[in-house]
Amino acid sequence: MLLDLPWTEKYRPHKLSEVIGQDLIVSRLKEFVKNKNFPNMIFAGSAGVGKTTCAIAMANDLYNEELPGAFKELNASDTRGIDVIRGEVKEFAKTIALSKVHIKIIFLDEADSLTADAQHALRRTMEKFSSETRFILSANYASKIIEPIQSRCVVFRFKPLTEDNIRKYVEHIASNEKLSIDEKAINALIYISEGDLRKLTNIMQTAAMQNKEITEQAVYEISARARPKEISTMLKSAASKNFDAARRELDQLILKYGMSGEDILTQCYREAQSMDIDEHMKLMIISDIGEANFRIVEGANERIQLEAMLAHIALNVK
């Protein structure tokens, strides 16, 4: 195993049988590999759930050692314009497949970053070379891909990974890398990753560079995230009309963890939904979080808006 690889590549599955958490999609892709024929596809879903991995694993299963002449991967966020579609994509699409399988694959990662003109050019290329080339488009937001392309593809929607899937993945890495990681640290990784295995793997690798014993504190410090309890304490202090205590908690989040306003609001939103408080108060807190987030995104001062949110919660407690 190559020790100089980043862990996101080192632990990426190379075969469909190694992919976790997307059983239904994997079973359909295996059928495509078995039949050696398949439609154009869109892989849609949030970051780090296995879209790119499934595309590459499917190509590995289909072509084996003949992969270089039959599979081309492009990141559409790097090459967003029409030139790459008319040039690099079209040139590869019209070549003869250098493999036993007569169909080639062009994989466009982050295809929702393509400009509208590039997508229309891609639609024409998909039509023209449909007999010898198949396209797999990966997108966080399938709605950003134009309707003519969507209608020419089968859309596979990747679901977020479950806690059990993530836990098994963490334990697999810990075993291979001879790491010591306790239950609290695993729970922290699950909380922070939000189903994104790429983010989780990077955090684990960074923590392991400091110490082979990964702790909950190390996970939160490396990811610049607060513990759920600290966010809940701040919101509960505001809901109890204790504005000074809430502001002290806010100071800790900004100074101790270096969190941005949007990061704090995102965690506030997650914790507000599970807080054991009056339902009306919970709705008001979520509304205040949304208002503060809008103002910060529009360019308002983060610190003022966060304190204004806490003040508004404290003032409106019945």
DSSP labels, 119-156: HHHHHHHHHHTTTTEEEEEEES-GGGS-HHHHTTSEEE
Query: Token pair of 119, please?
Result: 């997508």
Mean pLDDT (whole number) for 285-310: 94
pLDDT band (50, 70, 90) for residue 81: low
Domain 163-223, second-level architecture: Orthogonal Bundle (1.10)
Dihedral, 89, 95, 100, 103 alpha carbons, nearest 10: 50
Average pLDDT, the chain: 88
Contact yes or no for 99/4 (Cβ under 8 A)? no
Strand ranges across the sheet with 133-139: 71-75, 104-109, 133-139, 41-44, 154-157
CA–CA distance, 16 with 23 (Å, rounded to integer): 10
For residue 214, the cross-strand partners are: 181
Residue 84 CA to its chain's centroid (Å): 25
Summarised one tens digit per residue, pLDDT across range 11-64 is 888 899 999 889 999 999 999 999 988 999 999 998 889 999 999 999 999 988
Q: Which tokens belong to 129? A: 């070379």
Rg (CA), the chain: 23
Contacts of 294 (CB under 8 A, 6+ apart): none
Non-local CB neighbours of 120 within 8 Å, separated by 6+ positions: 146, 148
Yes or no: domain 228-315 corresponds to CATH 3.40.718.10: no
Q: What's residue 300's pLDDT?
A: 93
Mean pLDDT along residues 153-162: 91
Domain 7-157 has CATH 3.40.50.300: yes
**Tokens in use for 56?**
């590459």
Q: Report the distance separating Cα 116 and Cα 251, nearest Å.
A: 44
Distance of CA 70 to the CA centre of its chain: 27
Average pLDDT over residues 191-195: 87
Q: Is the pLDDT of residue 269 over 50?
A: yes
Residue boundaries of the structural domains of the chain: 7-157, 163-223, 228-315
